Amino acid sequence: MEQGIVITKCLKEDVAAAVAARPHDRTFIITDDTTRRLCLPLISGTRGLEGADVISIHPGDAHKDIESLTHVWTELGRLGATRHSCVINLGGGMVTDLGGFAASTFKRGVDFINIPTTLLSMVDASVGGKTGINFNGLKNEVGVFNNARRVIIDTSFLKTSDRENLLSGYAEMLKHGLLNGDPAWAVLLTYDIESPDLERLSALVADSIAVKERIVSLDPHEEGLRKALNLGHTIGHAFESHALSVGRPILHGYAVAYGLTCELYLSCVKTGFPEGKLRQTATFVREHYGTPAVSCKDYDALIELMRHDKKNTGTDINFTLLADTGDIRTDRTATPDEIKEALDFIREGL
């Protein structure tokens, strides 16, 4: 199904129009406890949402799991959802991933709409049809590709976002900038995300979504080009899963920022990415995101996690690398020793 993405200035009108666009019997809104409190009021009173049931899960990526999924399925069943119902996911990427997967699988598929409320879910998670949950200590281990029928983006949700979650989303924007080419990448290195001007940010959000949409439209099921959107994620997901496993979770975008530094280092060594651009990006990451809390004793565990990356075939660990900003090289591999060098680089610098 084609995905309609709306960057709105009239949230309630656009939500009402999206709900009315397809006949349905009941409406369910999936939130986490924080978005129920902070974001649900922004759509209350919307035409078509009278009588909608709200299903809420605990916030945080540790809850993007089978227990929360079971809770959503159970509540949908208990409250009488049918295949002709409409599900609205109101939240960050945790809610849009899990709610999208719950809707896609309940009675083999219920129509859903995403209303992303974090920067990360606006520019990335709510768009492009990847849904799923973490499982077995691995990120997004179980899921399906299925587009939300509509994605309605309103950056005014970001007024209640904290600095860390803005930075987290900004890391995926930086990834899109690196994939897009020099002007987009350079603009992102100079924009002040620490004291954001929301008007300017809205324009950058639109540019960022356009990068993802273009790639997804050419390869919706990640058979080739879409692996580009996984830049930074082979190592980033390993940082994220490892942090969760030792009880010190980090935000997805922080893990991606660290992963970008490491994978640009590999790009520099293996596909000729310019060293100056590596240094500029790595410095930006270090200044805003710090460094990952790992030591060389964690390297083998991190590499073991990378062996589960979804891009892998056989025993090789697969990476998306760059020959330059905008010059994408998918299906590259690196040896454990090369990966350890990249991990040394982020910890210690060149």
Ligand X SMILES: NC(=O)c1ccc[n+]([C@@H]2O[C@H](COP(=O)([O-])OP(=O)(O)OC[C@H]3O[C@@H](n4cnc5c(N)ncnc54)[C@H](O)[C@@H]3O)[C@@H](O)[C@H]2O)c1
Ligand Y SMILES: O=C(O)C(=O)C[C@@H](O)[C@H](O)[C@H](O)COP(=O)(O)O
Binding site for ligand Y (CB under 6 A): 124, 128, 130, 139-140, 172, 222, 226, 229-230, 233, 310
Residues 6+ apart with CB under 8 A from 330: 224, 225, 227, 228, 320
Region near ligand X per CB under 6 A, out of 45-53, 154-162, 197-205, 279-287: 154-162
Q: What is the DSSP string of 64-127?
A: SSHHHHHHHHHHHHHTT--TT-EEEEEESHHHHHHHHHHHHHGGG--EEEEEE-SHHIIIIITS
Q: Whose Cβ is closer to ligand Y: residue 226's or residue 242's?
A: 226
Residue 177 interacts with, from ligand X, ligand Y, none (CB under 5-8 Å by kind) = none
Residue 48 interacts with, from ligand Y, ligand X, none (CB under 5-8 Å by kind) = none
Q: Which residues pair with 111 in a beta bridge?
A: 86
| 202 is a contact residue toward ligand X (CB under 6 A) | no
Binder of ligand X out of 24, 71, 130, 150 (CB under 6 A): 130
Q: Whose Cβ is closer to ligand X: residue 204's or residue 278's?
A: 204
| CA pair distance 44, 50, nearest whole angstrom | 9
Q: Whose Cβ is closer to ligand Y: residue 111's or residue 309's?
A: 309
Binder of ligand X out of 104, 105, 114, 118 (CB under 6 A): 118
Consecutive H or E run containing 27: strand 27-32
Binder of ligand X out of 227, 252, 277, 329 (CB under 6 A): 252
Binder of ligand X out of 75, 97, 222, 263 (CB under 6 A): 97
| 346 is a contact residue toward ligand X (CB under 6 A) | no
- Number of helices (H), then strands (E), belonging to the chain: the values are 13, 10
Would strands 138-145 and 130-135 be described as parallel, antiparallel, or unpaired? antiparallel
Q: Whose Cβ is closer to ligand Y: residue 76's or residue 266's?
A: 266
Q: Which residues pair with 319 in a beta bridge?
A: 332
| CA pair distance 7, 232, nearest whole angstrom | 27
By rule CB under 6 A, what string of x and - marks binding of each residue 11-50 to ligand X? ---------------------x-xx--xx-----------
Q: Which residues pair with 328 in a beta bridge?
A: 322
Residue 310 interacts with, from ligand Y, ligand X, none (CB under 5-8 Å by kind) = ligand Y
Specify burial of residue 142 (Cβ count, 10 A radius: 0-12, 13-18, 19+). middle
Closest among 95, 79, 83, 80 to 30, alpha carbons compared: 95
Residues that bind ligand X (CB under 6 A): 32, 34-35, 38-39, 59-61, 64, 91-95, 97, 117-118, 120-121, 124-125, 128, 130, 139-140, 157, 160-161, 165, 168, 172, 251-252
